[in-house]
Structure 1
């Protein structure tokens, strides 16, 4: 349970840091690439064996990490576009409701069982994520634009399901740091390739503020994945319960951090979502 709590803490810090990016005018695309480089280096430092780079491709999880790295960058950019065109709340809802995908795959692929209370908790969790996140007033949306949150939903769900699959079938406990480092390294390489290609049209601009922001983001980013992998090995809770608790608690805790640190205003609907989140956590974790 401690691993899950730490994953929730570090994941929530990521949202706080993104908020600070906006406050201090940090260029997100550059900071996010520095973040992946930082997370990769932290993973290497936490690996308790000498790192032999030529040995890494020999692991059966290597090609999976390359795909995950590409997904990290792609989904991030989709989230950015969704936030810009439809609002931050829509992007948040699409990301967190993606917990449905790993939950369903866990039931199908790993024959996981859900009690009535856990099933009720997961259904309440979906409602909690929606009501805790929605802040924008309703507005007319073009049908074409609706594809963005759908892609964010699918991409985020595929990432969570892939992490569970790799943890279940290919990655041993002592390999968690180097596995996570390789995923982040692949994401960093993808991001660097992206900005190099873009530099033909728009010159590169990298300053100290972007580097500092990327380092500040990279450390909690690494530990959010590292502790989630460890939490998935919990013998009491199955992956459906882990992903539900993780996503719902992140929404609840990051919302509370927004109130305390940034004086964000919370509507009655948001408070209702937080209450539903608490009930869903109790149902999933304790019944």
Structure 2
């Protein structure tokens, strides 16, 4: 459980950093690329064995980080586009509700057993995530724009499901650090290619604030993945419970920090979501 708690704390700190980006006018895309580079370096430093590129390329899990790295950048841009077209609430709900995908996969493919309390807790978690995430009176989008949040939902779910797959089938405990590092490394490479394609339209300007913002984000971002994989390997809880607790706890703590540090105002629906989140955590973790 300690690994899961550390993953939640790391992810919650990411939320704080993103909020500070608005305060200090940091350009998110450039900071994200720097963050991926920093996260990759952190993983390389934590890897206890000698780094042997040939051995890494020949490992059974190598193409996983390649695909996930590309997917990280694609989903990030889809989330940004969804927020612009359909609103921040829709993007947030689509991302967090994706926990349903690894939960279903864990039960169907890995034959994970869930008690009735846990099943009820997971259903409550989905409702809690929705209620805690929405801002304003309701979430509504045009039918023609449904594809964007749907892609965010599916892509985010694939990322979480892939983490479980590689942890289950390919990763030894000592390989978690280098595996996580490679994900961020290929995400950084993909992001740099994306920026290079944009240079023709908009010249790249090196901004120290963007670099600093990426460095501050990179460390917790790395550990959010590292500790999540460690939590999956611990076998104290099944992956369905781990992903549910991880996503719901992140929503819960992010909401509370938004209130305490950034003086955010919550609607009645938001408070209902917070209450249901606490209840779902109790049901999933304790039963």
Partner residue, 1:71: 71
Between the aligned partners of 1:68 and 1:269, the Cα distance in structure 2 is 34
Partner residue, 1:180: 180
Between the aligned partners of 2:148 and 2:187, the Cα distance in structure 1 is 21
Secondary structure at the aligned position of 2:235 is classed as: coil
Between the aligned partners of 1:216 and 1:136, the Cα distance in structure 2 is 31
Task: Between 78-87 and 111-120, report the one with greater CA deviation.
Answer: 78-87
Return the offset for 1:139.
Answer: 7.0
Q: Does 1:54 align with 2:47?
A: no
Between the aligned partners of 1:236 and 1:42, the Cα distance in structure 2 is 27
Are 2:83 and 2:89, in contact at CA under 8 Å, matched by a contact in 1?
Answer: yes
Between the aligned partners of 2:118 and 2:138, the Cα distance in structure 1 is 32
Between the aligned partners of 1:253 and 1:124, the Cα distance in structure 2 is 17
Return the offset for 1:12.
Answer: 0.8
Between the aligned partners of 1:161 and 1:209, the Cα distance in structure 2 is 34
Partner residue, 1:198: 198
Between the aligned partners of 1:91 and 1:150, the Cα distance in structure 2 is 10
Partner residue, 1:265: 265
Return the offset for 1:53.
Answer: 2.3
Partner residue, 2:189: 189
Return the offset for 1:142.
Answer: 2.1
Task: Between 77-86 and 130-139, report the one with greater CA deviation.
Answer: 130-139
Runs of 4 or more, structure 1, over 3 Å off, are: 137-140
Alignment of 1:84-123 (within 5 A): 84-123=84-123
Partner residue, 1:127: 127
Q: Does 1:39 align with 2:39?
A: yes
Are 2:89 and 2:139, in contact at CA under 8 Å, matched by a contact in 1?
Answer: no
Between the aligned partners of 2:115 and 2:147, the Cα distance in structure 1 is 34
Between the aligned partners of 1:86 and 1:22, the Cα distance in structure 2 is 20
Between the aligned partners of 2:243 and 2:27, the Cα distance in structure 1 is 30
Per-residue CA deviations over 1:62-112 (Å, capped at 9, x if unaligned) read 011100000000001111111122222211111111000001111111111
Between the aligned partners of 1:279 and 1:138, the Cα distance in structure 2 is 23
Per-residue CA deviations over 1:221-247 (Å, capped at 9, x if unaligned) read 000000000000233310000000000
Are 1:40 and 1:182, in contact at CA under 8 Å, matched by a contact in 2?
Answer: yes
Secondary structure at the aligned position of 2:7 is classed as: helix
TM-score, scaled to structure 1: 0.98
CA 1:229–1:139 in structure 2 vs 1: closer, same or farther (change >3 Å)? Answer: closer
Are 2:65 and 2:179, in contact at CA under 8 Å, matched by a contact in 1?
Answer: yes
Are 1:164 and 1:239, in contact at CA under 8 Å, matched by a contact in 2?
Answer: yes
Are 1:30 and 1:206, in contact at CA under 8 Å, matched by a contact in 2?
Answer: no
Between the aligned partners of 1:175 and 1:42, the Cα distance in structure 2 is 14
Partner residue, 2:82: 82
Are 1:26 and 1:213, in contact at CA under 8 Å, matched by a contact in 2?
Answer: yes
Between the aligned partners of 2:116 and 2:141, the Cα distance in structure 1 is 37
Partner residue, 2:18: 18
Partner residue, 1:214: 214
Secondary structure at the aligned position of 2:250 is classed as: helix
CA 1:273–1:138 in structure 2 vs 1: closer, same or farther (change >3 Å)? Answer: closer
